[in-house]
Structure 1
Amino acid sequence: MNIDPGFPITATTDPLGWRYGAGVFGPAPELRRLDAIRPSLRDPDCAGPDPVYAIVMDVGREEHRGDLQKRHLLFGAVAYAAGRLGGEPVRSQGHVHCKSPRNGWSTPELYEIWRGRACILMQESDGDDPGRCFAITAGPGEVVVVPPGWAHATISADPAQPLVFGAWCDRAYGFVYGGVRAHAGLAHFPLLTADGALEWTANPSYKPSKLVRRGARAYPELDIEEGIPIYKQYEREPGRFDWVPDPELKAGAWRNFEP
């Protein structure tokens, strides 16, 4: 099942990459090779797809480029290859967002799944005590919000198909890897069973923590509409996601936030 992204952009799988339709701006895809992520894997010598994923940051309709820059909003899209990395799922390395030079917040991120199944693994801190930990599984058309300051990684939950998703981010995005790398990953390791299901094992580098596993939810407190592509929601109401680069606009929502 594929979901309309809300503007003409298409992921390609052979070769892995992106294709833009008329009136769409965006960069050449950045391809993340298997050798580049081997240090973050439990088995650095494993076999797996190569490239592992293709990412394009700052894409959208040409007519929106100026407004997106003014709002400090950025739309990105990522395509993960099908398959597995040895006994692990295809995934990102894990990071925390840099603090914005504009407001001092480590900004949130709004994901929308377009194809495949995703698991967004997130935890309150990349320190020795990870705090609350969540594994949120989402399919096509569902959204997941990573709140400000949380460490997180995006995991393909179905090795039989590619994972394709888009996300609203702060234009001044940047990633802090130090805490995650110092602990050799997040507080829970995702592994794949022989039949392709996700299972979890605790990372002993952290203090013990419970992993809450569940599906995606609605976010009425963040004014996200269900069933409408998040790019189209921006198109209809450009200020709707101003809380992504300026999270203080929803400061109350972040207190005791449940992803």
Structure 2
Amino acid sequence: MDKFGLEMTITHQPLGFSYGDDVTGPMPEIRTLEQIRPSLRNPDCTGPEQVYAIAMDVARLADRQELEKRMLLFGVVTYAAGTLGDEPVRSQGHVHRISQHSGWSPPELYEIWQGKAIIYMQERVEDDPGRCFAVLAGPGDKVLVPPGWGHATISASPDVPLTFGAWCDREYGFEYDAVRARKGLAWYPLVQGNHIIWQHNPHYQPGRLQTITPRRYSEFGITDAPIYQQFIDDPARFQFISRPDRAAELWQNFHP
């Protein structure tokens, strides 16, 4: 996986990662089916027992000091192949907790490494969820989730385990309560043949879902290069992730 800027190997049995000589990272945390049942449309479904593995704070040794100074953290996630009943394998859906050092709920920048993903996001986790988007992404694509939005990452390739990297705030935290109180986010993805279809969650006001493809986010200085390599080339480039206040005007009327 060094084509994405980090020397890593993805493992599937068991689910997780191994790191190259100059890369460090934690033992991956495994999210089991039992743990994520409360956020599924059908909590009694069957599926892979280990749903996904997540490793937060993966980095080259040479970059650790700079990342800590900039309050940045790189996370890597890999999903199991298969489905969760009639739902695709997916994260639970959450909002990022407000970081004390910035006073903002941090944004997050994803890059798909293998498989196909849908990054689902909605403006708010309230009765009126605001604008709702499903961003369809494949290997090399980048997707930016803005501050404060509810979001989930969904596998759109049941036969190919989805793997992705993401830039996050070092003081990251996930809030699930508002999502779980509404039995999930505003739209449920369902597997139908080779396609993902969508069902509205009745715990929200009716609205519409916009399905889109990734864009470049040139206003943030993001290029087509791998996002970890972009940090190596310019350590200041992703400061807007840990200090979203410095890009406040760009978040107004943001369109994924």
TM range (shorter): over 0.9
Q: Does 1:104 align with 2:106?
A: no
Q: Which ranges of structure 1 fall in alignment gaps of 5 or more residues?
A: none
TM-superposed CA distance for 1:225, in Å, is 0.3
Match for residue 244 of structure 2? 247
* 1:243 and 1:249 in contact (8 A); partners too: yes
Report Cα offsets for 1:158-194 as digits up to 9, x if no partner: 111100000000000001111111110111110000x
Matched, 1:66 2:65: yes
Q: CA deviation at 1:14?
A: 2.0
Counterpart residue number, 1:169: 168
- 1:185 maps to what in 2? 184
1:233 is matched with which residue?
Answer: 230
Rounded to whole Å, the distance in 2 between the matches of 1:35 and 1:176 is 18
Amino acid at match of 1:52: V
Secondary structure (helix, strand or coil) at the match of 1:11 reads strand
State the alpha-carbon separation in 2 of the partners of residues 134 and 212 from structure 1: 5
Using the TM superposition, give the Cα deviation of residue 73 of structure 1 relative to its aligned residue in structure 2, in angstroms. 0.2
How far does residue 3 in structure 1 lie from its aligned partner after superposition?
Answer: 7.9
Q: CA offsets, 1:117-153, max 9 Å, x none?
A: 0001100000111000000010000000000000000
Query: Cα distance, 1:45 vs. partner?
Result: 2.1
Cα shift at 1:43:
2.1
Could you say which residue in structure 1 is the equivalent of 2:90? Answer: 91
Read off the aligned partner of 1:94 and give its amino acid letter.
G
How many pairs are equivalent? Answer: 256
Structure-1 residue corresponding to 2:212: 214
TM-score (norm: length of structure 1): 0.97
- Aligned partner of 1:224 in structure 2 is 222
CA distance in 1, matches of 2:180, 2:2: 34
Local SS of the residue matching 2:133: strand
Q: Percent identity?
A: 57
* Consecutive aligned runs of 4 or more in structure 1 exceeding 3 Å deviation: none
Q: Distance in 2 between matches of 1:249 and 1:9?
A: 32
Distance 2:195 2:18 in 1: 31
| CA distance in structure 1 between the partners assigned to 2:183 and 2:86 by the alignment | 16
Structure-2 separation of matches of 1:101 and 1:180? 22
Quote the residue 1:14 is aligned against.
13
- How far has the Cα of 1:15 moved from its partner? 1.9
Tell me, yes or no, if the aligned pair for 2:72 and 2:168 is still in contact at 8 Å: yes
1:257 and 2:254 correspond: yes
Task: List per-residue Cα deviations over 1:221-255 (Å, max 9, x = no partner).
Answer: 111001x1100000010000000000012111101
CA RMSD of aligned residues (A): 1.0
Q: Could you tell me which amino acid in structure 2 is paired with residue 198 of structure 1?
A: I
